[in-house]
Amino acid sequence: MFPKWFDKWNRDNPTNVYGPGILVGVLGGAVFVAIMLVTLGQPHATASLQTGPRGTGMSVTEFQADLATPDPDIALIFEDPPFPPEPGEPLAGDIYENVQVLGDLTDANFNRVMAAMTRWVSPEQGCAYCHGDGDLETYGEDNLYTKVVARRMIQMTQNINENWDGHVNANKEVGVTCMTCHRGQNVPSEVWFREAPVVSAMAGWSATQNRATETSQYTSLPSDALESYLLDYQRIGVHDLASRVEGSPSDPAVPAIQNAERTYALMNYFANSLGANCVTCHNSRAFYDGVQVTPQWSTASLGIAMVQELNNDYLVGLLDLYPEDRLGPVHQDAPKAACATCHKGYLQPLQGTNVIADWPELATSGPPAYGEAE
């Protein structure tokens, strides 16, 4: 009736019945759990995005429960289709004073965009956030820095949609609006400021150890990666493939160990900003080879160039407009953008939701193409 091993063990240990009982119980429990998993499904099922050849570890694995949970900020998106202009309809630039951008919109569409910007950026303060508490007659004045900054941000948004289509719309039409970054906040989350130098003496040595900061993803890697690569246009380089290459680490053309650490800090930032990993862009067998990278590498490279332009041509130049409480805590510099400012932990901002469809006014610096809006 019982297995031979059980009869033999029972003969050799006539007083101990707990051992085989526990063993049988464990085996029975394991079988029960296996049956339940097969019947009810894996409670922590995962799905993988294959980014390269199978067997190379090139995949991004996520819990299906996370994939099924939408970005909560998507609930903030609202539809408000434009009003098709009528021939000869007066334009905002002819109706209102000091309209330096969006002046070629009809009155109805101009006010529709203004109302949307209020909901995207200052839902609590309303129009007064940029225009003050005066009468409508005072709305043309530039007394508040917020209005001047908002005007420049409109131009920046139009530039992104007009000139960086290869990054923003790499997979489908998505576009960007004020909502992409602000999400109902006056200042977008995930902006950054200069922090370097952030080294401190260790046990009496010279300053050789980096302090862990949020910018370095709370590691002791250098905290100046964003300013080096997304502001100062430094070359992202890790090492030379040949060994014992002559050259001084002080030579900018020689990628020293500090460059490798700084690059690794930047890559960590990318991964956390997009909720991805290294093989989303790189081939796991040849990280250094630009020929063997994934298509996402090109999209990310365009993103780097785009952010460099936004920081240098739009954001840094606003420094003199900001009050002291809006400046960086270390160098009193202007807030700047990086990947997380838009992506906020997702491969695509707002999980690829098309936010530009109802806002052709923000898709180009010229007259909007209402006939193409869908």
* Residue set of the binding site for heme: 114, 127, 130-131, 153, 167, 178, 181-182, 267, 278, 281-282, 339, 342-343
> Which one-letter amino acid corresponds to residue 316?
V
- Residue type, position 171, single letter: N
User: Which residue numbers belong to the known binding site?
Assistant: 114, 127, 130-131, 153, 167, 178, 181-182, 267, 278, 281-282, 339, 342-343
CA distance 3 to 23: 13
Q: List the beta strands (DSSP E) in 105-222.
A: 199-201, 207-210
Cα 316 to Cα 93, 140, 192, 194, 327: the distances in Å are 28, 25, 12, 11, 11
CA separation, residue 335 to residues 12, 266, 318 (Å)? 78, 18, 9
Strands (E), 171-237: 199-201, 207-210
**Which SS3 state, helix, strand or coil, does residue 85 take?**
coil
286-to-56, 80, 132, 156, 282 alpha-carbon distances in Å: 11, 47, 56, 36, 8
Residue 50: enclosing H or E segment and its boundaries?
Answer: strand 46-50
Q: Which two tokens stand for residue 265?
A: 């800090």
CA dist 144 and 138 (Å) reads: 11
